[in-house]
Structure 1
């Protein structure tokens, strides 16, 4: 295809007229599709409904050690669930894991909140400090940014690379500024780009020398088992083990959940860290709860049995999700390749594709899609404060729509990309 940047003004005007006619036709179809969030599809839930049959009124509700899961106790999770989640995260020692409720985001929120009100391992509570800052690799996960913004923490954007955050910038900011208290990380199949941190990046994280003794890496390993391809999987180092080797055992909190493994609203979530960090966490937990849902923990253990069971189950998820990713990527390649108006990632796992339009085009593309009946993640959402400096990044979430809906939504998306890009190029020639 001929690059749009090589077209004359007359050619661009002709193309604009054709695209506008095509867009008006698309609007007349009355689409009502939602690609705004990375939600599992109903077909994914349907295949795992038998998890509800694992426990019933005649079941034994005791752990292997004889603890009755119907009663109070074991505030940090049943041993079997701790082992399951440790194996899922690749953490060697299950004693370094606490299993909580149904969402890792809740654990992250509580961890920030506890740091604000009670400090970290005896340090000054963040709410009593003049300034608290957090590093935010971007494009990144909007809900991470919402948590830190909610607590009034200043967010500093750090550019992402295919190997992870720009570690030169991370190391400089962490070592020079005592107000920098943490960094958000999605180390495997990152949201939204699908990047996985390289070995060098993980080791540099583990070897950080923060000016603040209460600095922590918030390692959200949300997509640790979410591979699209059995033969092409990314692998990352165990951050807890690397931190231990580097003499920084307390510097990291690792989070994960089964929210996109079992049910999105009824999974189990966990945090892994050093014994000292977890003991500090337990002090508040005992005030907050007498115990999380041990019956749900037991249900998951009985259903998956072990990490091999999780891996086998995730292959079934991949069979549903992979064709959706490939369909979107095929349309992007066929319709936009060579036009020099867009770039996109081709992830091997996770839930998103990161799309880069021409600068100044993302908001207009998202708005045009919405006008024609397709809702995307808001432009700017992948940056702190919702402000993408280039107004170029758009997060595509292929998982929730049916294949038929996905084809219609992607066709409309590329049409809007073309139309807005032509408008931008014409404006530049004016």
Structure 2
């Protein structure tokens, strides 16, 4: 029997029990944090050897250049060839940068706004209106970029195989729609991986704006929770074959593979897009941290080395995701007051509670000492029209703390649902 089927007597009895559970939860004086998908200390320790690399006297890249000096905006060949092989792209279409691919995304949209990109008729700031497609639930930092630049965000639903393509195609017929956010593998926060069909449709679809761009944020391309790595589809090839060679701005990075904030980022795109980007990047700076790039190349060695490291991460993360899913099922499954994704990779679980109660769940959790990402954070302007979605980030806490937190979250979900039913 679901909670919605309880008669008044049963609901009253269950309400008393849940309120007692919540009162006991608050007496524990918890200080637990599930707000962001940060690697745990154990995961960061996997890359400890990186701190000693490339090592004293090792400062020459594969082309014989001294990585300690200025220059080489495209990054060193050592790491570029390694990453190009990993994600299946041509090395000539890949640039290695500094630690954050988010910085590159911000640059691309900012420069398009200020100057226009290589297919723009005019700078975006001079357009009457600029709009951007945002699959939801999605990545809050993506939405913050478009919000900051004054770009109007329009949402489309995420389905089991990617964004609703009927909605995407319809929006792309508007010339004011200049682009789209995507996280195509183990999406944040749902864990969805786009199907090959969806990838092809995005590459081939007609767009009214000639400078339409898809930010292909492949942040979790190899972040599996199992021993299976998902396919990485050749979207640049799909787009080129369809006559849309400049459609994709692809990102990747080592930030959740080695050390967050001290990794290497990658930008993959067409020849024309890269030429436009490098021209402006040469004004912004003289070159990336090539010492760090060489250190990463030495650390990984080859693609098998990268996948071995990801196996270590999976061994750390998978038990945490398993416990979260077990607790959600044990505590909430029979009452049907919530639904959640069951990702096979990435860093998040997307939790949908009864409409109108997500913000109350977050509030109750905060009062009990459990910090959750704010309700609506996975939507543009933090506005979830149904007030139902909460992003869970299991990676950082130890398993024992995670169990405490999730048991508490389940109690808060039940209490919020009961409060709504009692009104």
Report TM bin, short chain: over 0.9
Q: Which residue of 1 aligns with 2:215?
A: 218
Matches within 5 A, 1:41-80: 41-57=40-56, 59-80=57-78
In the alignment, the residues of structure 2 paired with residue 106 and residue 307 of structure 1 have an alpha-carbon distance, to the nearest angstrom, of: 25
Q: 1:272 aligns with which of 236, 255, 268?
A: 268
Q: Which residue of 2 aligns with 1:334?
A: 330
In the alignment, the residues of structure 2 paired with residue 173 and residue 60 of structure 1 have an alpha-carbon distance, to the nearest angstrom, of: 52
Listed one character per residue, the Cα deviations across residues 333-355 of structure 1 (whole Å, up to 9, x for unaligned) are 11111211111000000000000
Q: Which residue of 2 aligns with 1:110?
A: 107
- The offset of 1:172, in angstroms, is 1.1
- The offset of 1:122, in angstroms, is 5.2
In the alignment, the residues of structure 2 paired with residue 88 and residue 218 of structure 1 have an alpha-carbon distance, to the nearest angstrom, of: 19
Matches within 5 A, 1:187-202: 187-202=184-199
In the alignment, the residues of structure 1 paired with residue 145 and residue 55 of structure 2 have an alpha-carbon distance, to the nearest angstrom, of: 37
In the alignment, the residues of structure 1 paired with residue 243 and residue 87 of structure 2 have an alpha-carbon distance, to the nearest angstrom, of: 21
- The offset of 1:26, in angstroms, is 0.7
Secondary structure in 1 matching 2:113: helix
Q: Which residue of 1 aligns with 2:171?
A: 173
- The offset of 1:75, in angstroms, is 1.0
Q: Unaligned 5+ residue runs, structure 2?
A: none
In the alignment, the residues of structure 1 paired with residue 31 and residue 88 of structure 2 have an alpha-carbon distance, to the nearest angstrom, of: 41
Q: Which residue of 1 aligns with 2:151?
A: 153
Listed one character per residue, the Cα deviations across residues 304-333 of structure 1 (whole Å, up to 9, x for unaligned) are 012211111100000000000000001111
Of stretches 331-340 and 342-351 in structure 1, the one that deviates more from structure 2 is 331-340
Listed one character per residue, the Cα deviations across residues 141-163 of structure 1 (whole Å, up to 9, x for unaligned) are 00000000000000001110011
In the alignment, the residues of structure 2 paired with residue 338 and residue 239 of structure 1 have an alpha-carbon distance, to the nearest angstrom, of: 42
Q: CA RMSD in A?
A: 1.0
Tell me if structure 1 keeps the 8 A contact 2:119–2:210: no
Q: 1:357 aligns with which of 340, 353, 357?
A: 353
In the alignment, the residues of structure 2 paired with residue 372 and residue 178 of structure 1 have an alpha-carbon distance, to the nearest angstrom, of: 48
- The offset of 1:423, in angstroms, is 1.2
Tell me if structure 2 keeps the 8 A contact 1:198–1:236: no
Following TM superposition, the consecutive aligned residue runs of length 4 or more in structure 1 with deviations greater than 3 angstroms are none
**Is 1:137 aligned to 2:148, yes or no?**
no
- The offset of 1:54, in angstroms, is 2.3
Matches within 5 A, 1:345-424: 345-424=341-420
Secondary structure in 2 matching 1:182: strand
Q: Which residue of 2 aligns with 1:125?
A: 123
The alignment's TM-score, normalised by the length of structure 1, stands at 0.97
Tell me if structure 2 keeps the 8 A contact 1:34–1:401: yes
Secondary structure in 2 matching 1:337: helix
Secondary structure in 1 matching 2:334: coil
Q: Unaligned 5+ residue runs, structure 1?
A: none
Secondary structure in 1 matching 2:245: coil
In the alignment, the residues of structure 2 paired with residue 125 and residue 85 of structure 1 have an alpha-carbon distance, to the nearest angstrom, of: 32
Tell me if structure 2 keeps the 8 A contact 1:9–1:426: no
Secondary structure in 2 matching 1:226: coil
Tell me if structure 2 keeps the 8 A contact 1:135–1:158: yes
**Is 1:184 aligned to 2:181, yes or no?**
yes
In the alignment, the residues of structure 2 paired with residue 144 and residue 206 of structure 1 have an alpha-carbon distance, to the nearest angstrom, of: 20
The alignment's TM-score, normalised by the length of structure 2, stands at 0.98
In the alignment, the residues of structure 1 paired with residue 51 and residue 197 of structure 2 have an alpha-carbon distance, to the nearest angstrom, of: 42
Secondary structure in 2 matching 1:137: strand
